[in-house]
Amino acid sequence: MSDIRIHRPHRLGLSKAREVAWQWAEEVEQRFDMTCTVIEGDGGDTVEFRRTGVDGRLLVRADHFDLEARLGFLLGAFSNRIEAEIERNLDALLAEKAKREGKAAHGRAIGEPSGELRGAASKKAKPASKAPAASGAAGTSAPAKRSASTSKRIAAK
């Protein structure tokens, strides 16, 4: 098994970071036949992604992204290539969003190694169906779970 860990600071704030994460999830669903589920929370979201040979999560916070993925034996042989593709994709989305917002995407130049990467890489996702929000005990509500595609549509309303 190979692991991938990628940390990317940003200055987008939580709502814009969510948009970037949802876009990333939709792209990996389409390009890599992964299943992504967005779990929304007050302080940030978690995008869980999975397919045969890969599972992981992208933590979305107001000031950073943390991606962790575990690759199975066969994909582990391609971990460096997979990690590089994830980095390019996430960096491009951050740069695009920051450019539209007129802000620096993160504290380093796009394409410049961050020195914060560890391990192998991960493949991507397939559209998942909408999972209803769950309610907890005593009237408290649990974080909402939605597919990446559904989350973006709901957020746009």
CA distance between the termini of the chain: 41
Which tens digit of pLDDT belongs to each residue from 98-122? Answer: 888 775 555 443 344 444 333 333 3
> What pLDDT sits at residue 64?
97
pLDDT at 151 over 80: no
Closest CA to 151 of 27, 18, 61: 18
Which tens digit of pLDDT belongs to each residue from 6-65? Answer: 999 999 999 999 999 999 999 999 999 999 999 999 999 999 999 999 999 999 999 999
> What pLDDT sits at residue 86?
92
> What pLDDT sits at residue 145?
57
133, 16 in Cβ contact below 8 A?
A: no
pLDDT at 125 over 60: no
CATH number for position 53: 3.30.530
CB atoms within 10 A of CB 25: 30
- Report if pTM > 0.85: no
CB atoms within 10 A of CB 54: 24
Domain around 89: 2-156
| Number of domains within the chain | 1
Rounded CA-CA distance 143/93 in Å is 25
